[in-house]
Amino acid sequence: MLTRIDHIGIACFDLDKTVEFYRATYGFEVFHSEVNEEQGVREAMLKINETSDGGASYLQLLEPTREDSAVGKWLKKNGEGVHHIAFGTADVDGAADDIRDKGVRVLYEEPRTGSMGSRITFLHPKDCHGVLTELVTAAPSSPTEH
């Protein structure tokens, strides 16, 4: 069962410049930042609000650390903008299995580690009306801002 919009991923060429835009324009602050070597991105999570299920909703700003990363290839083809939408779930494995049973391709055989220690998988955009969709189970405890 999907419980919330966990985050919207936005691909950008310059993470620091994009963070400053969201800070100056909307007042959003960086809640968490990290480099995900496996996915080849440097990212910043900007918390938008808390949710009734104990999670939160974020904007995830993504800058590729290498051109051959998925985000790097996407930016080269599409330019900056919305890259994906992520839905929160208490059980990423179960949600992925349920969705796979409905004929949607799940891109990872087993969920991987995502932002802030979460467990993630992606659904094929061609099966989701052109939208790259991520399923996220948050880590048991959220880190503080850093």
Kindly report, residue by residue over 125-136, the tens digit of the pLDDT: 999 999 999 999
Query: E strand or H helix at 125, and its extent?
Result: none
Pick the catalytic residue: 32, 39, 83, 134?
134
> For position 141, what pLDDT does the model report?
67
Q: Could you tell me whether strands 112-113 and 119-123 are parallel, antiparallel, or unpaired per DSSP bridges?
A: antiparallel
> Is 43 a known active-site residue?
yes
Q: Token digits for 121? A: 């998988």
Confidence grade of residue 145 (pLDDT, cut at 50, 70, 90): very low
**Using CB atoms within 10 A of its CB, is residue 3 exposed (0-12), middle (13-18) or buried (19+)?**
middle
> Is 124 a known active-site residue?
no
Pick the catalytic residue: 7, 32, 39, 63?
7
pLDDT digits (tens, 9 = 90+) for 82-93: 999 999 999 999
CATH class name, domain 2-137: alpha beta
> Is 32 a known active-site residue?
no
Pick the catalytic residue: 39, 60, 63, 83?
60
Confidence grade of residue 52 (pLDDT, cut at 50, 70, 90): confident
> For position 144, what pLDDT does the model report?
43
